[in-house]
Structure 1
Amino acid sequence: LIVVNMFLTGFDATTLNTLWVDKNLKMHGLIQAFSRTNRILNSIKTYGNIVCFRRLQPRMESAIALFGDRDASSIVLVRTFKEYYYGCRDDDGKPVRGYIDMIAELQEKYPASEHQIIGEKNQKNFIMLFGAVLRMRNLLSCFDEFVGKEGISERDMQDYLSIYEDLRQNWPPKGPEGEKTDITDDVVFEVELVKQIEVNIDYILMLVKQYHDSNCEDKEILVTIQKAVDSSPTLRSKKKLIEAFIEDVNDSDGNDIIGDWNDFVFEKREEELEDIIKAEKLKPEATRNFLENAFQQGEIKTAGTDIDSMMPPVSRFTKNNKREEKKMGIIDRLKAF
């Protein structure tokens, strides 16, 4: 979107990431224009990027001093790439650890090849350290200099993501009596940051094509697929489906892997839906219409009478709590589906 004035002020778009400026902005106009891109959206977008073709830094500092605080530039602006990458000192002179130090500690204390971390304290320390690495990688990704300096191989990163996701799914750990421990209060999983760097199904299908072209003999490709799937929160839920497709691909000619995948998913989806309809004695047309809307909207809506209209008629002598219990069971199955 190329504008002169209108969209520099007066609108709010949290997804806006970068503002390209070739205009001599100043004072409140500069603050308002720059503010278009600094809306925090989530843990991925914690700042905005400003690309300037004019020398606006002196004007920016004057504007910040007038409308905020004369010493606020260090708060408003991100630090340099070298400071984040190699470490620096904060405004109080305290050392701030850099990205390469975090990576060195991660690889020394938790080698990616071990695949498992023993002990609650070790697990918690790993979660916090790897979360810090993810946050720093996210911040460094806005610097061109970071390309090629990630300090960790793609495969090792997938191994760490897999360990991290295992811990997320099984956290908090339970004691011998099955009770939660009290060590988990300050553990936060960076789910959005993990999803930002996870692999997608296109990458998996590319590997499946390579596996097929090797006459299904290159087992190293299967290891790569497993690592990629285990590292992805989204694809983990489809792991059995992907494994079944890989077995099925032996009988395919391999010319259209994406088409084969779509046909396979459609077939399995229909099988599973038929099983649900039969097991719960649901009305087929109403159930299919409900689920089609659910997939479009991205959620199962439980308010209203839609669920009830799908359910079989119930005897007037059936207790209400029994019907509600059955309804909740149907909702759970549809959510899982």
Structure 2
Amino acid sequence: YPLDQPIVGESAQKQFVGLFGAILRLRNILVSFDDFAGNEILSDREFQDYRSLYVDLYQEFRRERDADKESINDDVVFEIELIKQIEVNVDYVLMLVEKWRAERGNGADREMAALLEIQRAIDSSVTLRNKRDLILDFVDTMSVSSEVRDDWQAFIGERRREELDRIIAEEQLRADETEVFVANAFRDGSVPTSGTAITMILPPVSRFSASGGHAEKKARVVEKLQAFFERFAGLL
């Protein structure tokens, strides 16, 4: 499966998923042996690009499954936990941002290469993909004199505030209660989907409301807050 050629057809895609999953499982065993270092068949760049392709297919199959509940590909198994074990984290990406900032003014080719390195790192990560626009928007704010780590904290804090305010406005949530709810979710590592905590942030809903009753409102709010949580988790 050459990286410069698309994998056409579901059969070929499933074959690639199975093959690369086997490679991930085998590599997970081999990395514990000293002799494996330096004898890898794939270069770091190739392995990263294949992981990006693998995650592309994972998301594509998951979208199809969610769209058609009766057509679930039970025969397609993705080794996502193994991908997460070797994926890069935010600290690594910020290091790449610092490298990109240092390359600014040293020629368009070097600057573009550093930017592509950031994009490749994000695309090969299951965890960072839904944060891609945040990271690239942050890169756009960088100047030669920027302090990457400090500016990142301020940037993410502001974006998190803006996006939470948007959810509160769209769903007419109780603002103070929602802020406490979200702070507790980040503290505890998950968004509670039942109990009084979620109920306390919801506005009164009329049974004649065009947007649905209490259950529909709650489900919609939970979905938005879970997406918000997953998007900003681990960034500060």
Q: TM-score range by the shorter chain?
A: 0.7 to 0.9
Runs of 4+ with deviation above 3 angstroms: 178-182, 314-319
Deviation at 1:285, TM superposition (A): 1.5
Kindly indicate whether structure 1 or structure 2 has the higher relative contact order, using CA contacts under 8 Å at least 6 residues apart. Answer: 2
Task: Give the distance between the partners of 2:207 and 2:160, measured in 1 at CA.
Answer: 34
Structure 1 residues 169-180: aligned runs within 5 Å:
169-171=59-61
Asked whether the equivalents of residues 207 and 213 of structure 2 are also in contact (C-alpha less than 8 Å), the reply is no
- Which of residues 21, 38, 49 is equivalent to 1:159? 49
Task: Give the distance between the partners of 2:2 and 2:128, measured in 1 at CA.
Answer: 24
Letter in 2 for 1:227: R
Deviation at 1:181, TM superposition (A): 6.1
Report the counterpart of residue 221 of structure 1 in structure 2.
114
Task: Give the distance between the partners of 2:26 and 2:4, measured in 1 at CA.
Answer: 23
Q: 1:120 to 1:203 in 2, by over 3 A?
A: same
Report the counterpart of residue 124 of structure 2 in structure 1.
231
Report the counterpart of residue 104 of structure 1 in structure 2.
none
Report the counterpart of residue 26 of structure 2 in structure 1.
136
Are 2:215 and 1:324 aligned? yes
Q: Which has the larger radius of gyration?
A: 1
Letter in 1 for 2:59: Q
Structure with more helix by fraction: 2
Letter in 2 for 1:138: N
SS at match of 1:128: helix
**Percent of pairs with identical residues:** 45
Deviation at 1:208, TM superposition (A): 1.2
Structure 2 unaligned spans of 5+: 229-236
Deviation at 1:180, TM superposition (A): 6.9
Deviation at 1:281, TM superposition (A): 1.5
Structure 1 unaligned spans of 5+: 1-109
Of 157-166 and 203-212, the range deviating more from structure 2: 203-212
Deviation at 1:112, TM superposition (A): 2.4
Are 2:170 and 1:279 aligned? yes
Structure 1 residues 1-337: aligned runs within 5 Å:
110-114=1-5, 116-171=6-61, 184-215=73-104, 217=108, 218-250=111-143, 253-254=145-146, 256-315=147-206, 322-337=213-228
Q: 1:119 to 1:331 in 2, by over 3 A?
A: same
TM superposition score normalised by structure 2: 0.86
